[in-house]
Structure 1
Amino acid sequence: MKSNPFVYGRPLSPAEFVGRELSLRQIFGWLVTDHPVAVVGQPRTGKTTLLNCIADDNIWKKITGDRLASALFCFLDAQTLRGVHTQAEFWERALSPLAKHLRIEHTHSTRTTPERADFSEREFLIKLFKILSNRFNQEEIRVLCFHLGIEYEDLQGEGKKDKTVSLIKQLYRYNRINEFIDTGKSLRPDITWEEYLVTTAGGLPKKILRSTQPNVEGLYIKARENQFGAPFLEDLFKGMALENLQLILLLDDFDDVLTHPVLNNAEFYGGLRSFASRLPALGLVISTRRGLAQLNELTQGFTGGSPYFNVFNEMHLGVLEENTIVFLLNQADDRFGKEDQQFILEMSGRHPYLFQVAAAVLWDIHEVKLSGIQKYRKACEAFYKQTRKHYNEIWNTWTNETRKVAIISALTQISCSYQISATKEIKMFHDWSVYTPELIESETIGLLSKKDEEKNGNRIITQPAFLWWLAEELQRMRYSNIAFRDWLLAQRMDNLLTAQEIQAMESAVIKTLELTKSGVSGLIDAFVRKLIG
C-alpha cells in the first residue's frame, strides 16, 4: 500500500522539494553578483526549505554550474542562537564551515612544520629565537605579541625562553614570519635585522619570503584570538577573496535576532550590512516574516545613517504555482477525484503548508471509505484541528493594518455564508486603497482574492479555516465576558480605529456572533454544502 505522499509540519528536504525554481534562480543570480538577499514570507511558506535547497550541492550546481564551486555554506537557525552570549560566539558559529575547511586543508597540507623545516629554515628560526632572547626583554615580547594579536599568557611554557619558542613556532605554523619581522622592525629600529637573519644559504629562506600577506588560516586564528572584532573579520574576508574562498551564510528566522540580548544592536547590524554589501567573500541570505521596510523601521533606533536592510534584495514567497499544484496532485495517482481536488484548492488558497495538510487529511480519509458530505465534513474537521495553531501564529505576525483588513473581510464573508448582510455596519471601511500594502501581502499568501471586488467591492477570504478560527476567537471573547473594545486593545488595534469605527465594527461582530453561535461546525457545514452543490 502506498504511504501518504503529502508532507507537512516540518521543512522539506531538498529531495522532497518541488517548485520555486524561478525564486531559486533569482536568488542564485543575486548571490553570484554579490547581493545580500532577504527571503520574506509568512510562517510555513517554505522559507527554511528554500534556504536548505540553496546549500544543496545538486541544486546550486544545476542552476549556477561551477560559479559557487569555492563557496562554503553555513545554515544557522536564529532560534538556536538564544544561547549565544557574545558576537564572537555568533561569528565562530557562522565561520565554522571555514574552520572545518582549513583544518582539512591543514591535515593534508604539504607545508612543513617547524619540526620538519629544512636546514636554512631551521637556522633562520634559531636566529629569530636569538634576537628575541638577546635583544628583547620579557615586557618587550609582551608588547610584540600585543601588536601581533597574540595573547602572551596563552603561549605554551613558563618563562621568557619557553614562551619565545612557542611564539616562533606559532608564527611559522601560520605563515606570519614576515608580519613578525615587519612588526619587529617597527618596534625596534635599532636592531640591524638583516645582519642577524642572513643564513648560510646567502639570504632569507625563499619559503618565508614568499608572501607578506598572512594566509587565510592565519587570518582566521588572528580574528578568533581577537574575538572576531570588525577589523579582523574584514581582514579575514579580504584574505578569503584572495584565495577564492567564499562563505555563504544562510540565516533562518532572522526575526529572532530582533529580540536577541546581544545581537540586536547597531554594532551587529552595521557589521553584517557592511561585510555582506562590500566584501565578496561573504554571501548572505536571511529569511524573515517581515518585509525589509518593517525591518528597517524596527531597527531605525540603532542607526543615524542609511537603513541597515536597504542593501538587500527582497524575495517574497507566495502561493504555489500552477505547475507545482499539478505535480503534487499527481502524487495521489487516481485517488483524488475532481471534487477532491477542488476541496484541496479551496481549503488551502494554494498556500504551501495548507495545501499539503488538505491533501494529507483527504488521503487518510479515503482509507476509511467515507463519501459525500460526511467525507468532506470529516476532512474539514481534521484540517482545522491541524491548522488552528497556524492561524494563531500568523495572526501574531501581522501588522495591525493587516488584521483590520482581514477582520473586515471575514465579518462580511461570514454573514454572506448565512445569506444575511452585515456590510451596512462596516461599509465605512471599504476604502481599500488605504490598505494597498496589506492587501498585496494578503493576496500573496493566498488569504484574500479580488474575484468579487467588481461585483460588490468586497475581497474574498480564500482560506475558509481562517473564518472558522476568527469566529472561534470571537466566541471565546464572548464566553469570557470580554468587551469587544477590550479585545481590540489586547490585539493592539484600538489606536487604529475611531470611536465611530469601533462602534460599527462591534455591531457587525455582535451580528456575526449570533450567526455563528453553533460554533465552527455551522461554518464547516456551510462550506461543505457549497462545495458539493
Structure 2
Amino acid sequence: MNPFTFGNPVRGKTFVGRQWAQRRILTALHQGSSVLITGEPRMGKTSLLLHIQDHLAAGVAETPVWVRYLDAHTLCGWRVPQFWQAALEPVQKLPSVRQAYLKAERERFGTFVLESLFHCLQQAGQRLILLIDEFDVVLDEPGLNQIEFYGGLRSLATRYSSLSLVIAARQSLDTLNQRTQEYSRSGSPYFNFMKEITIGPFTNDEIDTLFAAANVPFTRQEREYLAGLSGGHPYLLQAAAYFWHEFSTGHPDLRRRCEQAVNETFAQVETILRDTWRLWTPYQQMAFTLAALEAIPGLIPDREFDVNHLLTDLPNFAPEQRQLIQRGFLREDARYRCGVTPVVEMMTWFLAEELIRLLRPADPNITDWLKAQQWDGYLKQSEREALQKALMAFKPLLQNGLNAFVKATVEAFARRIAGD
C-alpha cells in the first residue's frame, strides 16, 4: 500500500509536525485569547484545526471546554441567527445557560442577549471554543458579511473568557481587516484582537518525520530531491512522494521512471498551484515572477537571460518578498540581484507554463495578459513596457516547455545518484 496521501485532511497518527504552531495555539487558548491560522492553499490549515479539535476534545484542559467545529463552506445562505444556533449546539442544553439560550433563540441571537448567555457560561467556569474553517468564504456570504456578525464575534470573544475563536483562513489578518473595514463604524479593525499564526512549508525535521512515519526505503538523495520539488509544501510533498512511490518499481530505466513520476505529480498539483497564484495580490505575483525569471535560466542548462534591466525598471517588492518568504515560496539568496529565489520548484514550473501559453502565438497579447493578472493598474507605462520587452526576450528560453524543466531536474538527480 502506498503510505502517502494527499487531498483530504490528515488526522490521528497520520498527522505529523506543526509542533510549534500547536504550542502557540494552545498557549493562546489557555490565556483566553483567540487565534487566526493563515497559510496558502493546501498548506495544512484544516488538518491543524482538526488536530486542535481532537486535542481539546480529549479533555486535557484545566476547565470544562466545549468545542464546536464549523466549515464555512457549509454556511451557504446562512444568516446570523443560523450561525449562532449551530455554534452554540454543544452548550445549549447545559443547565447553567439553558434559560439564557432559550431567550437568545426567541430574540434571534442578537449580540445583547448572547452577552447574557456567555456571562452565564463564564460564571459557571466553562468555555466554548469555536473553530471556523475556510473563514474567507464568510466574506462572500451576504447574510454573514455584515456589521452584526463581525461586531458580535469581536465583542463576545473580547469581553467574555467563556468564548475563544480559532479561525483558519487563506488571507492574512491585515487583509481580513481591510476586507471588513467598511463595516467598522468605529474605525477599529474587527480582527485585531486575534493572534495570527502563519503556517508555511514543513521544516527539514518535519520532512524527515513524514518519511520516517511512512517507513519507505527512499534514499537520502530521493528525499532531498522530493523536498526540493515541493519546497516542503505538505500537499506538494505528499503528492510527489506518492507518485515517486508508485513508479519506484516496474521500470528499469531510472530517468524514464523519474520523468513519469514528476510529470504525474505536476499534473496532479497544477490546480493547487493555480489556486495559490490566483489568491496572491498583483504585487506578490510580480515579486515571484521577477524571482522566477532570474532563477529559471539556472534550472535549464546552457540558457541565459539578463534580468538586470528589468529589475532596474520595476518597483521594489521588498514587502511582498517578505510575505512570500514567510509563506514558504521564496527564500533569501544574495547570489541573485533581486535578493530572493523561489523555493517551490514546481511553482516556478507553473509560472513558466503560464508564460509559455502567453508567448506561444507569433504576436502574443501581453497587454491583455497583464490586465488578466490585474497588474496593469499597478504599473507605470515605462514599467509595463519593460516587462513586455523582457517577456518577449524570454520566449526562446521556454521553447521546449515543461519537458525541459523535467528533463533538467531528472538529469541532475541522476548525476547526483551516479556521483554518490
TM range (shorter): over 0.9
In 1, Cα distance between the equivalents of 2:153 and 2:58? 24
**Aligned counterpart for 1:94 among listed residues 87, 100, 123:** 87
Which residue in 2 is equivalent to 1:354?
236
**1:501, distance to aligned residue in structure 2 (A):** 1.5
Which residue in 2 is equivalent to 1:475?
356
Secondary structure of 2:21 counterpart: helix
**1:5, distance to aligned residue in structure 2 (A):** 1.3
**1:218, distance to aligned residue in structure 2 (A):** 0.8
In 1, Cα distance between the equivalents of 2:154 and 2:313? 40
**Contact 1:430 1:457 (8 Å CA) reproduced:** no
Distance change (3 Å), C-alpha of 1:467 and 1:227 = same
**Contact 1:270 1:308 (8 Å CA) reproduced:** yes
TM-score (norm 2): 0.92
**Aligned counterpart for 1:268 among listed residues 123, 127, 149:** 149
Is residue 286 from structure 1 mapped to residue 279 from structure 2 by the alignment? no
Where structure 2 has 5 or more consecutive residues not aligned to the other structure, the ranges are 416-420
Secondary structure of 1:524 counterpart: helix
**Aligned counterpart for 2:185 among listed residues 278, 299, 304:** 304
In 1, Cα distance between the equivalents of 2:171 and 2:313? 25
Distance change (3 Å), C-alpha of 1:468 and 1:226 = same
Which residue in 2 is equivalent to 1:119?
none
The equivalences for 1:332-343 within 5 A come to: 332-333=214-215, 335-343=217-225
Higher mean alpha-carbon deviation, 284-293 vs 371-380, is at 371-380
Secondary structure of 2:108 counterpart: coil
In 2, Cα distance between the equivalents of 1:425 and 1:243? 67
Which residue in 2 is equivalent to 1:210?
none
Is residue 321 from structure 1 mapped to residue 319 from structure 2 by the alignment? no
**Aligned counterpart for 1:459 among listed residues 313, 337, 340:** 340
- Could you report, residue by residue, the CA deviation over 1:240-288 in whole angstroms, capped at 9, with x for unpaired residues? 1111221110011111111111111112111111111111111101111
Where structure 1 has 5 or more consecutive residues not aligned to the other structure, the ranges are 107-214
TM-score (norm 1): 0.73
**1:410, distance to aligned residue in structure 2 (A):** 1.4
Secondary structure of 1:83 counterpart: coil
**1:27, distance to aligned residue in structure 2 (A):** 0.7
CA-based RMSD: 2.0
**1:311, distance to aligned residue in structure 2 (A):** 0.7
Q: How many residues align?
A: 411
Which residue in 2 is equivalent to 1:490?
372
The equivalences for 1:387-398 within 5 A come to: 387-398=269-280
Secondary structure of 1:43 counterpart: coil
**Contact 2:36 2:168 (8 Å CA) reproduced:** yes
**1:467, distance to aligned residue in structure 2 (A):** 2.0
In 1, Cα distance between the equivalents of 2:223 and 2:393? 33
Is residue 66 from structure 1 mapped to residue 61 from structure 2 by the alignment? yes
Identity across matched positions, percent: 31
**1:514, distance to aligned residue in structure 2 (A):** 2.1
The equivalences for 1:111-260 within 5 A come to: 215-260=96-141
In 1, Cα distance between the equivalents of 2:35 and 2:124? 24
Which residue in 1 is equivalent to 2:20?
22
Higher mean alpha-carbon deviation, 359-368 vs 456-465, is at 456-465
Which residue in 2 is equivalent to 1:428?
312
Which residue in 1 is equivalent to 2:259?
377
Is residue 446 from structure 1 mapped to residue 313 from structure 2 by the alignment? no
In 2, Cα distance between the equivalents of 1:333 and 1:92? 45
**1:344, distance to aligned residue in structure 2 (A):** 0.8
Larger Rg: 1
